[in-house]
Each structure stands twice: as C-alpha cells, then as structure tokens.
A and B are shown apart, each in its own frame.
Chain A
Amino acid sequence: MSATRTNPSANVDVAHALQRWHPIATQYDLEPRSLFRTKLLGHELVVWRADDGFVNVWENRCLHRGVRLSIGTNDGAELICRYHAWRYSNRTAGCTYIPAHPADSPARTITNKTFPVTNRYGLVWSSQDPQGQVPELSVLDGDTLGLRNLPVNAPVGLVLKHLATHTFLPSDVLAPGLDVVAELAAVEMSAEVSTYSATLRARLAGNESSAVFFVQPVDANRAVIRPVLGEAPFNTVAVLRHHAAVLADLVRDIERAAADIESRPALPSALEVPLELPTVAVAVGRSAPLRVSVRRKWAAAAGITAFELVSHAPDPLPTFQPGAHIDVHLPGGMVRQYSITNGPGETDCYRIAVKRDPASRGGSVALHDSVHQGDELQISEPRNSFPLRRNVSHTVLIAGGIGATPLIAMAKALHTNGLGFDLHCFVSQADQLAFRDQLAEFGDQLHEHVGLSPQETGEQLSVLLAEPSANKQVYACGPPPMLDAVRAVSSDQGWPADAVHFEYFKNTTELEQGSSFVLELARSGLTLDVPSGATVLEVLRENDVPIVSSCEQGACGTCAATVLEGDLLHQDVYLNPTERAAGHTILTCVSRATSNRLVLDL
C-alpha cells in the first residue's frame, strides 16, 4: 500500500517530478551566514551555505516545535533554531546541543530531514529521490550568467507554454537608446522546450545569445523561473535589466492566463507519509559499524600523529558533539578510544590525534606504524560521555599532554558560539602541543604551561582555579596523576563537584573482582549469577542483554547502568564523588556489588 498522496488534478506528474533534480536556489541567493527559504513540489525547504562551502538543503521545520528554521541563525557551522536555540550541524543536520538540557548529549535520532544537493550552472539543485543527473545542456558548457529569477503565480506547464514564445535580444545589441520594442519584433527566436526548462536562442543582425530558462515547481499553482545565460557578457547590468524587464512582461501575461483557468488546490506535500515509525537499531557491545579511510596522516606534534578519517558511504559521518570519542578497531582485535577534535560544522571527516606510547598495550604503536594514508579502518559511532555545558559565562579547560584532544573540540565550539573560555595546555616540551596551527585562532585564550614539575603543576592549578564561581565550569583531561591534582585543588578551593568534569583516558585502579553476587534485571525479568572473577558486563553479554560498551576499563562511562538496589564497590574513574555516594549508577565493566544482591534497571 502506497502512502503517497497525490493530486490528480495537478498538471505535473508527481512521481516523475519527485525523481528529478530541480533548481531551488541561485548562488547569489546564498549569502554567507544567511538562510534561504524556498519550496519544491509543495514542500518547504531551508537552504544554507556553511563557511566550508557545503550547501545544506533541509526541511524547513525544527524537529522540536515545528518552527521554520529559516527564521533562525546560520553561524557558519550550525543552524540555530530561533525558538529554543536547538543547534543543528552542517552536513549531517543532527542536533548538537539543546540549551534546556545543557548536560545532555542529544540523541542521534534528533536529525533533520535532509535532501540531496548538487551545484550546476550556478544553481543549487535538489530532489526528493533523484534518479539520474542534472540535465546536460551544451548551451551552458562555457561561461554563464545567472539572470534574475522571477516567481510566477502559475503552474509549471503554463509557464513553459509561454516560455516557448518568449523573446529577448542578444546581449551584444543592447545599447542605450535602443528601440527595444521594435528590435524584439525583429529578433529571430528558436526554442527547445522540455518538461521543466526551455532553451531559447535569440538572433539579430549577426548577433546571437542563448539562455536556458529552468522552471522550479513550487507547488501546483506556483513556479520560479531561474534563467541562466550561456555567456558572460561585457555589459552585465544592461543584460540583467533587459532580461528582467522582458521576463516581467512575460510573467504578467502568464499570470493573466492563469487567472482565466480554474485554480487548483495547491499540491499537498508530496513527501511519502510513513505509515510506521522507523525503528532505530540498538548498538550492542563494542560494535564498529562505520567503515572509514585515512584521508590524511600527519605529525601533529612531537610523538603525536593525527589522522583524518572520511566516510566510505555516500552518507556523511554521524553527528558528534564536543567531547565525543570513537572506538577505533585495530588489527589483532585491539579497540582504542580517541576523542574527535573537530569544531562545530567540521563534519566531512573525524580528526583524531594519537600519542606514541611504546609502554602501552600496543594500540598507539599500531596506529603510528601500521596504519597509513589510504588505509581502511572500522570505527564506532561517536559517543559522548564528556558533554560540554554552555549555560555558564566562562569555561576553564585544563589539558595534560594528549588529553588536549577533547578540550580542543570544546574550545572550538565555545569559540564559534562566542562564549568565554581559557584553554590551558600542560606539556613537558613546547613541541608536544598538538595542532598548534589550529589553536592559533584562540589568541590569548590559549595558555601553554611548559615543562612544569608535579609540584609546579599543582601550584599553577591553584592559580587557575583560585576563583570558584557558580557561573564557571571546569573540564580536565590528562594523565591520572594530573587529574587527581585537579580534583584535589578544585575541592580545596571550594569548587562544587558538579562544576568540575574529568575525562580519564585510563583507569589505573587495582581491580578487585573477588566477590560473587546475584544480579537481577528489573526490566528483563532475569536473575543471573555474577561469579568471582567475572564482570557484570561479561555476564550481561553472555546472556544477550543489550548493553553498549567502549573502553571496558571504567574510564569512558559508556556502559553505565542505573542501580535500583544494592551496595556498590566503585572501581571506575568516571563517576564523581557525589555520583558515587548517591549509588544510582554503576559502570558495569569494572564495578560490582558488595551486597549479595544487585538490581539494575535493565
């Protein structure tokens, strides 16, 4: 059963129309940082160009309250809804931030409807379900000039019927004082008309000009003529004025004719109406559904290699937020987590940085030595357990060495959003600061602390954290001793625990796995045994209970579960002291029960 509603009285073949590319904007409509609104086949679109040049074509409706996105703001990287300031990312159209929920990472399902886009002949083209390419028109192979568009209150068919007999003058004959009416009577026209465009050639006294008049079907009763001249004339303004004038006459004729025919009800939205809501696949375990290739591999600092990963699929890589990480699956079954360092809107790749650490378990060495430009990797979708709140006036970012990576993404977001921050990078040598070139844009908001001893680091932290405030937040990422120092100093200085956030990249806790207990799953109705030596996560997985995990050492927070009953032995480095004391959350990969019974909300 088809769910498409069509209007049989409309003179366009809707099924055919949906599969074609249609022009929806001319390049001059897309000014930097602007939002352009148009309609295609009764469906309203917002079109905007990001600072990286990508043109976004989305349904013109916020997923939240249905407000037109076109009254929002294009900040060059994201489109911000006017109503509740939800942010939607360039290219993916995924929501990256909901101001009313500053501590949450928006679900990836909050993604706007996007439409395919392509650029040709100085026009932006889109389609609901494109089959094939934008029409090939040899007339427009060389130089072109986009003429002024004209909206017409008439159906496409009627517009094309009149375009077949449209007349204009070759560009070269246009001169001040010309008797345009007389010349138009003398000009020799030839026309080639198809369903959605008319190619016209004007010849007069040895001069010749050709133009293609594309017609955008707005709805059943409206169209926009988007003409493109097949040359770049020397007298641009005169040519633009001539075409605007003769086309305005034509539009008046068309609208008079349209008034004589019975007006049709406007096309209803021609989108397929889904009869069932789509189901969202639940990721389980350490899945790596994305195949990416290494577009670029380079030295981001001494001992640090950066990788730029791009998607294999035609679809863009999934939306990420500042603080998010991906799992990278390496040969030999190794899985490692790396933070995405991209700023808002930088959505054509993921950039990660890896510090070579020969003393580690081998992941960094494998990436440095065995992965090359052009190689393929399997990665997970981005996950964010280190979300950036943007409801305070100032943010302090404290990075130890390679721990700068998530904080660089945060600094870029704060910088783009115009929010105050300071990025403090602690490195043992100046040449170990990753992405120095990208950090330059932060100006005096970037602070380098080079070669400090542990004691000097502690003293410096006391200075940086000297003034606790309800209007500040602190984010720290780095080696465990340094994060422990940040925790101690911030606590001494009177910072509330929920204003200071940590991301550990490893958990050095000596794990205690000796206890055994009964695990009850309240939602699934299962009762399981967790024997000594096994983790809660392992028992869940053996019994096919879906749960997502990532680092599996108590650092990233991905495998957290809600505790309904039971006493806990926390062995992670993810929960803060308040969260630990509350006892509502367990990281199933490392922590366990000290009571005989543990009830989880799973």
Chain B
Amino acid sequence: MIKLYDYVLSANCYKIRLLLSMLDVDYDSVLVDFYPGREHQTEQFRRDVNPLGHIPVIDDDGFVMRDAHAILIYLAARYDSTGQWYPVSDPRQLGETAQWLTFADGTTNTASAARLHVNMGYDFDIDAARAGAHELFRVADEHLWFRERQGESWLAPGDHPTIADLAVFPDVAMAEEGGVEMLDYPALARWIERFKQVPGFIVMPGVFPYGVS
C-alpha cells in the first residue's frame, strides 16, 4: 500500500490526499510533526525520507517520490485508467495542464506562504506574498470567467478537471486564512464550488464541503 508522509494542515499534502480519494486508492498516512515539531527538517527525516526536508513524500511499494505536483503526475499516470486527470493524449490539454500546474507553484509561493505566515509564524514578506497572490488570482479569475462563457468549467479545456485544478484548489480555497480577501474573484469562487462537487472530494481543516454538511 502507498505510504504518504503527511501533515493534516499542509495544503500540499492535502492535494495528494484529494487525488488518492478521488481515484479511490487506499493509502496509509505517516503523520509528520510539521508544526511545531519541524520533524521534516530533522537530520533523520532528511536521511531516511527526503534530503530536501519537505513533505509530502510518497512511498509506493518501495518507489519513493517527493514534490506534490510531481507526485500528482505520477499518481494520475499510474492509477487513473481514464486518463482524465493527466490528459497525455491531447497535446493542448496536456500543455495547459502543465501550465496551470506551474501556476500552482506560484500560489504556493504567495497565497500559501501568506497562510503559513499567519497560521504558523513563518517569516515571509507578508505584503509581497499577498500582492503576489492577488496578481495571480486576477489572471485565474479572468481565465475561468472566459471558460464559463465558452461552456467550460475547468482550468484546462475538457469536461473533466485535471490535476491542475486539484493543485490550484487548496491555495484558493484557503487564501483568506492568509489575509488574501477573495471578494474580487467571483469566477474563482464558482470554480471552487464546482470542484467540491467532484466525486471523491474530501475536506481538510479550513475547507468546507459542498452543500449542507
């Protein structure tokens, strides 16, 4: 069974849990004391699990991988027989999926950093993080607004979400925890509600379910 080095409040770990749930793949969480213990930065963790000292990391029957977005690609390619989550057969879909995966690195460095600063006291330039998040969200909101006008629902073309939607989702859904007000992004808000209705969707602390809980 897949082993996931996991922390409940980590947006990047949540991405892995989300995809595994949506693909209905069983896994065991190995809980890492990320905060306040900083276990992922210890000598032992670097030596045994990830020399870069971060999570998530998966161990799939001896195959060990790090980096959330890379893990998403691996899991989708390995366990999604429909090929919808990582659409390799259509170059444009694949290209846009990769493009928005990179965008998710941007939200990790801005919206997610602001959240870590507020919730766990990380030493980031909070104003720059928030301004950067707003810049990215403006672009994503406009993109999704035009997608809606063309009868589309997701970041990449096609009628099914991709791992790009999944990778961007947590930072948008929890942006206000970091003090990034979402008032100006109604298309992003609608996309969030759509994503919550994808079968297999699960929550984490800070993310509400769709509908009446």
Interface residues of A (CB under 8 A from B): 28-29, 31, 34, 36-39, 71, 73, 75, 80, 82, 85, 148-149, 151, 218, 224, 236-237, 240-241, 244, 248, 417-418
- Asked if residues B146 and A37 are in contact (CB atoms below 8 Å), the reply is no
- Asked if residues A82 and B193 are in contact (CB atoms below 8 Å), the reply is no
Which of B142, B190, B213 makes the CB contact (< 8 A) with A148?
B142
- Any chain A CB within 8 A of the CB of B82? no
Which of A28, A80, A236 makes the CB contact (< 8 A) with B212?
A80
Shortest Cβ distance from A245 into B: residue: B142
A240 and B150 CA atoms in complex are apart in Å by 11
CB neighbours of A241 from chain B (8 A): 146
CB neighbours of B184 from chain A (8 A): 151, 224
**Chain B interface mostly:** helix
- Asked if residues A34 and B142 are in contact (CB atoms below 8 Å), the reply is no
B44 to chain A, nearest CB (A): 41
- Asked if residues A73 and B148 are in contact (CB atoms below 8 Å), the reply is no
A71 and B213 CA atoms in complex are apart in Å by 12
A76 to chain B, nearest CB (A): 11
- Asked if residues A148 and B212 are in contact (CB atoms below 8 Å), the reply is no
- Asked if residues B142 and A237 are in contact (CB atoms below 8 Å), the reply is no
CB neighbours of A75 from chain B (8 A): 211-212
Q: A73-B212, A75-B212 are in contact. Are A244 and B142 (CB under 8 A)?
A: yes
**Chain A interface mostly:** mixed
A36 and B185 CA atoms in complex are apart in Å by 10
A100 and B142 CA atoms in complex are apart in Å by 42
A71 and B174 CA atoms in complex are apart in Å by 12
Q: Please report which residues of chain B, range 137-168, place their CB below 8 angstroms from some CB of chain A when the two chains form the complex.
A: 142, 145-146, 148-150
- Asked if residues B189 and A37 are in contact (CB atoms below 8 Å), the reply is yes
Select the residue from A31, A75, A80, A241 with max chain B CB neighbours within 10 A.
Answer: A31
Which of B145, B148, B186, B212 makes the CB contact (< 8 A) with A85?
B212
Which of B146, B189, B190 makes the CB contact (< 8 A) with A240?
B146
Which of A28, A34, A39, A240 makes the CB contact (< 8 A) with B183?
A39
Q: Please report which residues of chain B, range 96-150, place their CB below 8 angstroms from some CB of chain A when the two chains form the complex.
A: 142, 145-146, 148-150
B136 to chain A, nearest CB (A): 15
CB neighbours of B193 from chain A (8 A): 34
CB neighbours of A224 from chain B (8 A): 184
A491 to chain B, nearest CB (A): 35
- Asked if residues A73 and B142 are in contact (CB atoms below 8 Å), the reply is no
- Any chain A CB within 8 A of the CB of B74? no
Q: Give 21 CB contacts A-B under 8 Å.
A: A28-B148, A29-B186, A36-B186, A37-B189, A38-B183, A39-B183, A71-B208, A73-B211, A75-B212, A80-B212, A82-B213, A85-B212, A148-B142, A148-B145, A151-B183, A224-B184, A237-B149, A244-B142, A244-B146, A417-B212, A418-B212
- Asked if residues B150 and A237 are in contact (CB atoms below 8 Å), the reply is yes
**Nearest 8 CB-CB pairs, A to B?**
A151-B184, A73-B212, A29-B186, A73-B211, A80-B212, A148-B145, A31-B190, A82-B208
Shortest Cβ distance from A70 into B: residue: B189
A85 and B189 CA atoms in complex are apart in Å by 21
A237 and B213 CA atoms in complex are apart in Å by 38
- Given contacts A71-B208, A236-B149, A237-B146, could you give 17 more A-B pairs where the C-beta distance is less than 8 Å? A29-B186, A31-B190, A34-B193, A36-B186, A37-B183, A37-B189, A73-B211, A75-B212, A82-B208, A82-B213, A148-B142, A148-B146, A149-B186, A151-B184, A224-B184, A240-B146, A241-B146
CB neighbours of B146 from chain A (8 A): 148, 237, 240-241, 244
Interface string of B173-189 (1 = CB under 8 A from A): 00000000001101001
Shortest Cβ distance from A248 into B: residue: B142
- Asked if residues A34 and B212 are in contact (CB atoms below 8 Å), the reply is no
CB neighbours of B142 from chain A (8 A): 148, 244, 248
